[in-house]
A and B are shown apart, each in its own frame.
Chain A
Amino acid sequence: MCDTCGCGQPGDPVTIRKPGQENITHNHDHPHPHSHDHTHESEPSHDHGRTLRVEQDILLKNNLLAERNRGYFEAKKIFALNLVSSPGSGKTTLLERTIATLKQEFPIAVIEGDQQSLRDADRIEKTGVPVVQINTGTGCHLDADMINRAVHELDPKDQSLLFIENVGNLVCPALFELGEAHKIVIISVTEGDDKPQKYPTMFSVADICIINKTDLLPYVDFDLEACKQNASQVNSHLQFFDLSAKTGEGLDQWFEWIRKQVKPS
C-alpha cells in the first residue's frame, strides 16, 4: 500500500525533478479506476456468476495518454525521440555529443529516465540545455503519464528537439508508447551482434538503430553487417547509423538526419 496517501496502491516512488532539486514530492500516478465504461452484454454462465464482455486493450490508458502527448508535441512542433537500449550502451554520451553540436541550431531539451539518481541529468545539465530527471524507483520503463508530468516541468520551447532517454532495458520500454516521433534503439559493439534476435520486440518497434562504440570494433568479435542483417530480419524498415560517441566517427550522418527531421525543408 502507498504509505504516503494510503490509497491502497503498491508503493510507487516515481519522482520527477531538475538537477539541484531535492524535494521529492509524493507524486506517483494513481491508476485508480474512475471510468464508468458500460459493458454491452451480460450473459449468464452455467457455472456461477455472470460473464461480461470487456474487449478492452490492457494498455489503453497509456496509449491514450501517449496520444495526448503526441498532440501536444505536434501543436508545439516539438520533435521527440525516445532512446532505448541496454544499460551502458552510450545513450548519455551520445546525447552529450549531439547537444554540444546542435544546440546552436535549435532549442534542445532532455528527459532522463533512470531507476535512481540524478547522475545523467547532472551530465546533461553541464551541456547547458534544460533537463528533468525521472526516477522510476523499481519501475523498468518510462510511461506516457511520467512524460506528461516531466514535460510539464520542462516546458520545452516551440520547435525544439526533445530527447527522452529511457531506462536502460531492452525489454519493457518497447510496450509503452510515450508520444514520441520515433523510438531509437542503441546497441554497442561490446554487446554482441545477436542482440536483435534476443530482443526482437524492441527492434520491431524502433525506426532507427544506432550501433555505437565502433571505435572498439578492432577489439571485439562483432560483425557489423551480420548485426544489421539480423535486425533487418526483425524489422525491414530500420534505418542504421554506425558511430562512435567517443571519437565522433559517424556522428555527421546522425546530425544530418536530425537536422532534416527538425527542419523539414
Chain B
Amino acid sequence: MHEMSIALNIIDIVSSQARAEQAQKINQIELEIGELAGIMIDSLEFCFEAASKNTLADGASLSIIRIPGKGICHHCHNEIDVDNFITVCPNCGGFGVEITQGKELKIRSINID
C-alpha cells in the first residue's frame, strides 16, 4: 500500500510548512492528483486519517483535485485524452502518444489556523 507512503509524505510536508507559520492546526489540504498517478483515492484518505493522528494535520480534510490524463500524438500532433495509459491516438491510430498531463502528485495549498 504505497498510499501509506504518500500519506506520510503529505503529512511531513504540510506539518513543516504549518510549523514554520506557527500554525496551531491544519484545516484543509488541497491536493492535485492526476488520473494517471497510480493512486487510489479511497485508500489515500484512509491512510491519511490513520497516519495524521497526533500530528498538526490531525482532523484536516483533503480536498482532492483530479487532473485528467492528456497527451500529444507524435504523428498528427493533436492533443488527446489519455485514459488508462492507452497511448493510441484516436485521430490517426498512431502509436506513441506522449503523456503531458495526468501524473500530478502535488500539494497545492493548505489552510491553517
A58 sits at the interface (CB 8 A): yes
Assess the B21–A52 pair: CB atoms within 8 A. Answer: yes
B25 to chain A minimum Cβ distance, whole angstroms, is: 8
One of B1, B9, B36, B95 near A59 (C-beta < 8 A): B9
Assess A233 versus B88: contact at CB under 8 Å? Given A31-B9, A52-B112, A58-B9: yes
Assess the B14–A54 pair: CB atoms within 8 A. Answer: yes
Assess A54 versus B110: contact at CB under 8 Å? Given A61-B12, A176-B2: yes
Q: Residue-by-residue, is B87-113 near A (CB-CB < 8 Å gives 1, otherwise 0)?
A: 110000001100100000111111111
Residue of B at shortest CB range from A232? B95
B36 to chain A minimum Cβ distance, whole angstroms, is: 7
One of B8, B85, B108 near A54 (C-beta < 8 A): B108
B51 sits at the interface (CB 8 A): yes
Assess A10 versus B51: contact at CB under 8 Å? Given A48-B27, A52-B21, A140-B1: yes
Interface residues on A, range: 35 or more
A45 to chain B minimum Cβ distance, whole angstroms, is: 6
Residue of B at shortest CB range from A39? B17
Assess the A201–B85 pair: CB atoms within 8 A. Answer: yes
> How many angstroms from the CA of A61 to the CA of B16 in the assembled complex?
13
Contacts of B54 in A (CB 8 A): 8
Contacts of B113 in A (CB 8 A): 48-50
B80 to chain A minimum Cβ distance, whole angstroms, is: 13
Interface size on B, residues (CB 8 A): 44
Contacts of B6 in A (CB 8 A): 58-59, 175
Assess A54 versus B17: contact at CB under 8 Å? Given A32-B12, A33-B12, A48-B27: yes
Q: Which of B36-58 contact A (CB under 8 A)?
A: 36-38, 51, 54-55
> How many angstroms from the CA of A75 to the CA of B25 in the assembled complex?
44
Assess A55 versus B21: contact at CB under 8 Å? Given A143-B5, A172-B1: no
Assess A233 versus B16: contact at CB under 8 Å? Given A45-B111, A48-B113, A174-B38: no
Assess A54 versus B109: contact at CB under 8 Å? Given A37-B16, A172-B2, A175-B2: yes
Assess the A49–B27 pair: CB atoms within 8 A. Answer: yes
Residue of B at shortest CB range from A54? B107
A204 sits at the interface (CB 8 A): yes
B86 sits at the interface (CB 8 A): yes
One of B8, B85, B112 near A49 (C-beta < 8 A): B112
A235 sits at the interface (CB 8 A): yes
Contacts of A174 in B (CB 8 A): 38
Residue of A at shortest CB range from B31? A58
Contacts of A47 in B (CB 8 A): 111
> How many angstroms from the CA of A75 to the CA of B13 in the assembled complex?
30
Contacts of A35 in B (CB 8 A): 16
Contacts of A105 in B (CB 8 A): none
Binding site for A on B (CB under 8 A): 1-2, 4-6, 8-10, 12-17, 19-21, 25, 27-28, 31, 36-38, 51, 54-55, 84-88, 95-96, 99, 105-113
The contact sample of 8 A-B pairs, CB cut-off 8 A, is: A10-B51, A52-B17, A53-B109, A55-B106, A55-B108, A57-B106, A175-B2, A235-B85
17 other A-B residue contacts (CB within 8 Å) besides A8-B54, A34-B16: A37-B20, A38-B20, A47-B111, A48-B113, A49-B27, A52-B111, A55-B108, A59-B9, A172-B2, A174-B38, A175-B38, A197-B84, A201-B36, A201-B38, A232-B95, A234-B85, A234-B86
